[in-house]
Amino acid sequence: MSASAIGTQRITMAKAINLGLRRALERDEKVMLMGQDIGALGGVFRVTDGLQKDFGEERVVDSPLAESGIIGTAIGLALAGYRPVCEIQFDGFIFPGYDQITTQLAKMHYRSRGRLNLPVVIRVPFGGGIGAVEHHSESPEALFAHTPGLRVVSPANPADAFTMIQQAIASPDPVLFFEPKARYWDKADIDVRAAGQALDLGGDTVGLHTARVVTPGTDITVAAYGPTVSTALAAAGVAGQEGTSVEVIDLRSISPIDFDTLIASVRRTGRLVVVHEAPVFFGAGAEIAARVTEHCFYSLQAPVLRVGGFHVPYPVANIEEEYLPNLDRVLHAIDSAMAH
């Protein structure tokens, strides 16, 4: 059954991405999927479940266990006119393909003086919270956001996952699509038909990189993306009960960042806390803090604070809750900022 015939459903983020991929495959015969175990198995998280059965082995390709080969092949396919969507099975497995991504995929458009486009999407299940072993809970998004030529985005809910994956595939530029694996099973009601009709897939990627004010507030701004948006919302709820009005912004995009929305918020509230799972040291929050301080210096009533992972390798599963930014740590940052 096609996605267009399904209508409103309460679905998980994993299913929303599946439907978004299905819609893209239906819309454009040049779209194809590549990755380890994405065909008959449907992927480790079953995100691609049923797609090979419906679209065939030539469009949903089970690749060898070779991330550099997957990305390199995708570059060649993009140059030949295809729109490949690569799945990296787990975040920590992306590094064998890092050279292809940062020295080839990111630079080909610039190297050709704009004559060549590489519309490649790389899907990366990322982040912790699932009790996994080493190399299965990384948050490497800042490494790619630091590389010019790559778009880097992360949905925080099923509705955004459905629309953003389609926008990413329609983009003429390479997109790193970081999927918060701990949120794969979060559910939401989505009108698939209405959401699909509302998409602008004409190559305009502005909507893909627009931040969203999820909860308006007046006292402090909390900015997050991907897996930590729900943590920020929970903190806003608790802080609100204690008399602090928190504005929560879902950044949605890490490169480029919608600084216009963020700066407008901070100029209203005078305070900012940035939350992400990746290590705080040289993380996305550092760039956000620096840029907001430059533009909001006379509006800020407290230093910009960051809550995130520590500058250590991701820990073993039984202590990962000590590493991840949780409700208490975000509330502590809010209280610290409000004390100024």
Concatenated DSSP letters for 227-280? GGHHHHHHHHHHHHHTT--EEEEE--EEES--HHHHHHHHHHHS-EEEEEEEES
Q: End-to-end alpha-carbon separation of the chain, Å?
A: 57
Name the DSSP class of 66.
Answer: -
CB distance 88 to 67 below 8 Å: yes
**Angle at the Cα of 54 from the Cα atoms of 50 and 60, rounded to 5 degrees:** 75
Q: Are 123 and 69 in contact (CB under 8 A)?
A: no
Q: How many CB atoms lie within 10 A of CB 303?
A: 13
Residue that is written with structure tokens 């819309």 in the block: 27
Q: What does the alpha-carbon distance between residue 251 and residue 238 come to, in Å, rounded to a whole number?
A: 21
Q: Which residues are catalytic?
A: 136
As given in the structure block, the two tokens for residue 215 are 């909860």
